[in-house]
């Protein structure tokens, strides 16, 4: 059983000495990656600071270009399927600052990947028209998986990241073993009327997304019973990636290209799916959690009480526990299937004992 600490999370005593040592090295290193906006130095949250120091840029071949793509790589390898964490709309891998270390100390091989167009990837040499399409985001993620992860994965998507995960699982079912969807934003018909806005109006709307007060208000909606001080800090972390010069172009391009519409794809999902939902979500009603569970062919639902729209930020212990148990259950099922298959093969072989 995973030993989970109260929020904020702490490293458990059951971690291996090697993993503890490597995590300590990362925590004690005061240098942030040089490609992060300089405002990262002002972040006070120790978990955000620690995870930010682990962000890397890996070369990914995409659309005739070589993109230095941002992610957090695992410190450990595991026989279990790797867990790959996406993020919500207009966010970054720092969204996982509280839950990521809990998954890692539980022994899971964990990646946190920035979706093309958001996060901390270098888009300076890539035309903005190449990053807004859903197909482009999907292809970029596939190329990153093909180059570095290379094993069927447990794909985790919160909010809009759930739509990204469903779209990817349908198009590349061979690389997605199972899904975890958190307060899933999967019933919106893309960006809707926003896709028809004149470009100048779209840029004006995007500037609101970048505005500190707008993001502060969004934080108040996203979390249940959050203090003003905590909201200020989460706002600073959440808008860090917006400070890159290409952020506006990439986000406007996403809007005018229509965004994600996966409503028709939901019933096509073949993977076993864990749905996690905050009972007090003020952004997406938990009634849609029940609808999603009914429409997915093979899904289980776990609701987290006294929790808002981003449980992996607000209730990391609960989310980590659910993911760890889900991964372990799937690993055990897969192992039993392999053992049963081997036993059957032996019994049917000419040298077996069956008569």
Q: Are strands 56-62 and 65-72 parallel, antiparallel or unpaired?
A: antiparallel
Which of 159, 185, 231, 318 is catalytic? The answer is: 159
Verify whether residue 159 is a known catalytic residue.
Answer: yes
Sequence-distant (≥ 6) Cβ neighbours of residue 323 within 8 angstroms: 83, 99, 103, 108, 154, 156, 180, 274
Q: How many CB atoms lie within 10 A of CB 83?
A: 26
Verify whether residue 207 is a known catalytic residue.
Answer: no
Give me 83's structure tokens: 């867990």
**Dihedral pair phi/psi, residue 90, rounded to 5°:** 50, 55
In angstroms, the CA 139 to CA 166 distance is: 14
Sequence-distant (≥ 6) Cβ neighbours of residue 204 within 8 angstroms: none
In angstroms, the CA 58 to CA 109 distance is: 18
Which of 15, 69, 281, 312 is catalytic? The answer is: 281
In angstroms, the CA 89 to CA 32 distance is: 24
Q: Are 182 and 162 in contact (CB under 8 A)?
A: yes
User: What's the start-to-end Cα distance of the chain, in Å?
Assistant: 43
Sequence-separated contacts (24+) of 201-205 with Cβ below 8 Å? 202/252, 202/255, 202/256, 203/248, 203/252, 205/255
Which of 140, 241, 309, 312 is catalytic? The answer is: 309
Q: Which residue numbers are catalytic?
A: 159, 281, 309
């Amino acid at each position: 059983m995973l030993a989970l600490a109260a929020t904020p999370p702490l490293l458990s005593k059951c971690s291996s000495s090697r993993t503890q040592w490597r995590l300590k090295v990362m925590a004690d290193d005061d240098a942030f990656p040089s490609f992060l906006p300089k405002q990262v130095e002002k972040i006070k949250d120790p978990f955000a600071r620690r995870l930010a120091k682990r962000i890397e840029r890996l070369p990914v071949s995409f659309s005739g270009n070589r993109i230095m793509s941002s992610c957090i790589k695992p410190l450990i390898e595991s026989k279990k399927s790797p867990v790959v964490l996406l993020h919500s709309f207009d966010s970054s891998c720092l969204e996982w600052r509280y839950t990521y270390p809990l998954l890692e100390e539980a022994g899971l091989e964990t990646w946190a990947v920035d979706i093309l167009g958001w996060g901390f990837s270098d888009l300076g040499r890539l035309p903005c028209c190449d990053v807004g399409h859903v197909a482009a985001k999907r292809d970029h993620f596939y190329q990153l998986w093909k180059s570095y992860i290379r094993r069927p994965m447990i794909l985790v998507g919160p909010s809009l990241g759930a739509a990204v995960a469903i779209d990817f699982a349908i198009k590349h079912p061979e690389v997605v073993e199972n899904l975890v969807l958190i307060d899933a934003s999967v019933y919106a018909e893309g960006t809707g009327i926003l896709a028809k806005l004149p470009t100048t109006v779209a840029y004006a709307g995007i500037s609101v997304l970048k505005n500190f007060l707008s993001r502060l208000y969004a934080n108040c909606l996203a979390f249940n019973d959050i203090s003003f001080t905590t909201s200020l800090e989460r706002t600073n972390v959440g808008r860090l990636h917006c400070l890159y010069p290409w952020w506006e172009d990439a986000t406007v391009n996403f809007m005018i290209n229509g965004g994600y519409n996966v409503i028709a794809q939901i019933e096509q999902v073949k993977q076993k799916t864990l749905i996690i939902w905050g009972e007090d979500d003020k952004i997406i009603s938990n009634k849609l959690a029940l609808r999603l569970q009914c429409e997915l062919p093979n899904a289980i639902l776990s609701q987290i009480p006294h929790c808002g729209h981003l449980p992996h930020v607000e209730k990391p212990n609960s989310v980590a526990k659910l993911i760890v148990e889900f991964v372990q259950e799937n690993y055990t099922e897969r192992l039993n299937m392999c053992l049963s298959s081997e036993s059957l093969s032996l019994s049917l072989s000419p040298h077996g004992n069956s008569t």
